[in-house]
Structure 1
């Protein structure tokens, strides 16, 4: 083995990692030490002192002190470093640290500002809140040209989409245009992403009515429903701003990536089915969003007189939009074609209906869209209604979904351009823009993937493209709404349908299936929950499956037996590294869990005892007693904490091993773990066999045998 160790280069050792057997993999027989090789190849790991000496530059006197300390310190001395360490921080201290960490950012900013002159401090605060004051100093005419082109391009896509998404949200069409004015202006001065395009999006536009129409039917009382939507938008902004101010962005992580992929795919299909109302010109449509109710409504519509003109007109322009998108992907110079195709569709279809008076032949049209700038909606917010609690719950869900989509979009495009967006600032900017938006007749706005992709392709340089887009929408609201009177609803449906294929990411779903089956279960759970039940049920199913995955991993953590890698001082999993060598008479076990607690302790103890029993039976069968297990070493490097149930289980394990004539030792216990083991007197029960590393535990055992 010595020759193989010498021959093993760093490249070959790297291949041990890359060419490890597939998971879960069948257990393989490990090579074992025998004879004199066991004494030759056991190397004492010198711990952090050796690493410190070789990796840190110190003066001569410090190096001499380190050398003397290393020479005079034995493994017994180093074990005392573990046993005699200071007490770890208590629960109150940890809670205070958590609070301190939450507000440390503000505290550091306050300290730096306090040391500056008053005027400079005011400027620094303004720059922190409004990033436009930072990048705006280097703004140039050349950048404005790019932003102007990008802003006009996304406005041509935004105007028809906003009208369509407003109808999807069961609101009057002008509310979609209002939402494309105020939120983009606020984000432009507070946001940190250069490419993200702000406005209404399909998923949020579906999510809001799917939950709020249970409280108020939008068809029966549209004004009361609009009040609920605006109130939910206000609370959504409050939640989003609070996440950013108190640095609670981790809450967004409760919606896992797999859950979001499945949810968005299911929502895309539901949105597409909802558009069949406009595409077929169906008058009566169910309020429920599940696929069965929608398909029943579509099927029943064929039994009544209906005009196929809506379907023919909508499908014609849907084909036009999809063909223009295909041409834009084939030729990058034609990026503007798919962006302007929806607006061209609206203009052409409106002219066709107006000139032929097709509305008299059964073509359904948008009719009146209220013109003028965003009116104040402060008087529409309801803070004392009977549904306030339910509206707040809806707002929390919408806030999480909207933030998840916006951050995913922003991070995707910022990574392409090689800069970083500040997640907490993004949350604050999204929150404030929705708060102000709720006061100016806007419903929930967030980052749109389709419009952001167009903005990026159009060559935007800064968030000024959002300002250009908002100004264009303002002009449209002021002067062009009357021209949209004859716009057919089938065209709005086709525009929304054209945006849906990008929401169903089949490649990502396949990747999730290939990488993690439990994540795939959460993905399809969200997908089918949205499809056959409701949007909120789909989210609930996805979150439940994700939490179930965490619980399963916690209560059934993996355990692995370790062996020594040839030519190194490292002890690794013998299944992952078949070349790892086990040591006669010693079983080294590592628990792959951060917590040893009531939920998993017995499972771990039973697995260790099964291994001991199997090893003993194997020795009796082969009539080989020299390799019988005499020592079990628990590598606790992964354990961060332990509870009383975990300690009690370790005591039971120690008793069971003692009855079998086997000793127990622990290696590399963390701070909280060793402190609790000392308080419970477990260290005394195992004879003080506590070591800094697994290598020292092995060496101490072998040295003791040789001395005996």
Structure 2
């Protein structure tokens, strides 16, 4: 018997002693719910360092170190660390300046169309300082994202054109950035970062690949010198816009753009072949901007069909918190844009931070990163900045340059500040096609063909998710692609819950192990016993399916016995069904009712049911629901081997156990 939650040996009918599975002592609902909530929200026990400190000043300092991660590395910061961060910060800044202007144009924040009062590469300045204080990753370099910029243009463009109403468009962009920051910080504060993980790697690969394809095609505007272009993001619309203006194509910017693009790709190839030459590809965008600017200035490129970005205001912009729209008809659009772009930027930024931390063997708190991203976007929205995150390209350069702390972001911010104060007039003659070449070159690195090939080898379902998301982006829109990704992933999760795997187990000769018969050819069925394993919790979503599926397993086994014929080769008739519950993490009230119904159904067929290796939660709920009493304590076992041995010794064809017969009503018996 089971007494007080302790294991007690009970003499079964055959006189042998067996181990028993205990029913855990009752626990209060509040305690159980509290432990579940703690495991959900605090799986990494983030406050352990705070709890270890004695109450008082030391604990207060530990709290400050937790809130402001910079206090963890500043006390031990050395001159060698400063030298490394200076080199990496300046290297990233050489990439950030041209890339920041390029991505701002992609987002519609373009000085040419009248946004001279909004300096696009501010987004590499203020947010970088915020991340230096709040960020926990040593390698992440803060900056704008190509996909986020494209999302801004595609989602906000229909409400306010950057060409006809640039002021409203800029206000919408700042408002969307604010909402993105609130959403990101909220997820971090509430410890809900695990929600971002539902956007699987396969979906992110397909989404980023589709967005990169669309971004590359949109750069045909700069390569061909077109003045008007569609705001749509699907391939048919983009190509239609290109070919409908074939009479306006200019060969001069096309030749210049191809040369710059080839130069950027060659430098990228050199850096990949020789890791010590990482700075070659990092400095290439700035070099291409300088060379093309000088060339256009000398040959007066504007007279030859080469468009330039025009004047860019010098200096620091005033605060923009008064520009945020909270009572506008477009507020909901800005909020939706902020949430969607916030999710995408979090997915990329978190993945970058975690992968680099694993490579360097240090820990990154994902929820802290979300708070840092949210804080820098909220601060950025009030200082004329739009969406920023931790893009892979900049972070890779930052890591390869030897950064040792988030202080490299502060160095980059100061370098960008110097550019804003003194160097912006030099960009007046920078050709737009140079920015298009920079964007197109960067986007080729976003298309991860190796990841797609790996999905094809490892998991075809993930490949379908990837391809579905990709096609949704390139043939529909960014919104459609994201909706396809979420819908397919939700459907896959629901199917895995509603249709769990059930497998038959057999004994490995010479051992007490029972394994899947479809995986292990040497696994032998136990005569008269059908062993089944359910590889999922039993809940309301799958209880009916599992009842029907187990019944089908039993029918198939009985048909196999009948088909074996008579004589020495005949299979033993089925006497017992053993459920291996080792992979079953939990069970709800519908699950206990399913087990009860299964027991009664087997009684009618003259079969016995046995449970092997049930967990503590399952035993507790089976006991409270009286299902354990219906089955009989003597039919619950520690292992499948014990269950099979006992069933072969104590089950007879066409009869249930004495305990079960007493528990079942007379009309349920055979």
Q: TM-score, normalised by structure 2?
A: 0.89
Match of 2:280 in 1: 337
Alignment partner of 1:685 is 2:660: no
Q: CA deviation at 1:687?
A: 4.0
What is the deviation of 1:561?
A: 1.3
2:11·2:18 contact (CA, 8 Å) conserved in 1?
yes
Quote the offset at 1:262 in angstroms.
Answer: 0.3
The structure 2 residue matched to 1:472, chosen from 410, 415, 421, is: 415
- The corresponding residue for 1:609 is 551
Q: SS at the partner of 1:634?
A: strand
Is the Cα contact below 8 Å between 2:50 and 2:59 reproduced in 1?
no
Deviates further, 490-499 or 692-701:
692-701
For the residue of structure 1 that corresponds to 2:74, the secondary structure is helix
* Residues 322-350 of structure 1: per-residue CA shift (max 9 Å, x gap): 11222222333432221111111111111
TM-score scaled by length of structure 1: 0.84
1:576 Cα deviation (Å)? 1.9
Deviations along 1:386-417, whole A, 9 cap, x unmatched?
22233222212111111110111112222222
Partner of 1:281: 225
1:116 matched to 2:55? The reply is yes
Q: Is it true that 1:168 corresponds to 2:111 in the alignment?
A: no
SS in 2 for 1:561: strand
Query: Residues 348 and 358 (structure 1 numbering): CA distance in 2 closer, same or farther, change over 3 Å?
Result: same
- Contact persistence 1:88–1:675 (CA under 8 A): no
Please say if 1:85 is aligned against 2:24: yes
Size of the aligned set, in residue pairs, is 635
Quote the residue 1:234 is aligned against.
178
Aligned to 1:699: 645
State the partner residue of 1:628.
573
Q: Please list the CA deviations of residues 424-478 of structure 1 after superposition, one character each: whole Å capped at 9, or x if unmatched.
A: 1111111111111111111111111111111222222222221121111111111
Partner SS state of residue 665, structure 1: strand
Q: In the alignment, which residue of structure 1 is the partner of 2:242?
A: 298
Is it true that 1:154 corresponds to 2:92 in the alignment? yes
- Over the aligned positions, Cα root-mean-square deviation in angstroms equals 2.6
Query: Structure 1 CA distance, aligned partners of 2:136 and 2:335?
Result: 28
Partner of 1:13: none
Give the equivalent residue in structure 2 for 1:441. Answer: 384
CA 1:639 to 1:121, structure 2 compared with 1: closer, same or farther past 3 Å?
A: closer
Q: Indicate the SS of the match to 1:447.
A: coil
Aligned to 2:252: 309
- CA gap 1:567/1:312 in 2 versus in 1, 3 angstroms: same
More displaced 10-residue stretch of structure 1: 455-464 or 396-405: 455-464
CA contact (8 A) 2:94 2:286 kept: yes
Q: Deviations over 1:481-516 (max 9, x none)?
A: 111101100000001111111111111001112211
Q: Which residue of structure 1 aligns with residue 313 of structure 2? A: 370
Partners of 1:530 and 1:539 within 8 A in 2 = yes
Following superposition, the deviation at residue 703 of structure 1 comes to 4.1
Counterpart secondary structure, 1:86: coil
User: For the Cα contact (< 8 Å) 1:522–1:543, is it kept in 2?
Assistant: no
Q: Deviations over 1:340-371 (max 9, x none)?
A: 11111111111111111111222100001111
Map of 1:44-63 to 2, 5 A cutoff?
none
Question: How far apart are the structure 1 equivalents of 2:573 and 2:377?
Answer: 69
Instruction: Identify unmatched segments of 5+ residues in structure 2.
Output: 1-5, 112-117, 659-670
Instruction: Report SS of the residue matched to 1:560.
Output: strand
Which whole-Å CA distance do the structure 1 matches of 2:331 and 2:395 have between them? 34
Q: 1:135 to 1:278 in 2, by over 3 A?
A: same
C-alpha deviation, 1:139, in angstroms: 2.0
Contact 2:357 2:363 in 1 (8 A): yes
| Higher mean displacement: 416-425 or 528-537 | 416-425
Aligned equivalents of 2:227, 2:281: Cα separation in 1? 31
Shift of 1:261: 0.4
Aligned partners of 1:596, 1:572: CA distance in 2, in Å? Answer: 24
**Which residue is equivalent to 1:653?**
598
Would you say the 8 A contact 1:103–1:246 is kept in 2?
no
Q: SS where residue 590 of structure 1 aligns? A: strand
Please state how far the C-alpha of 1:648 moved relative to its aligned partner.
Answer: 4.0
Contact 1:78–1:692, Cα closer than 8 Å, also in 2: no
One of 83, 105, 121 as aligned partner of 1:145: 83
- Cα shift at 1:81: 4.8
Match of 1:224 in 2: 168
After superposition, residues 8-157 of structure 1 pair within 5 angstroms as: 81-82=21-22, 84-90=23-29, 93-100=31-38, 102=41, 115-118=54-57, 120-157=58-95
1:42: which partner in 2?
none
1:324: which partner in 2? 267
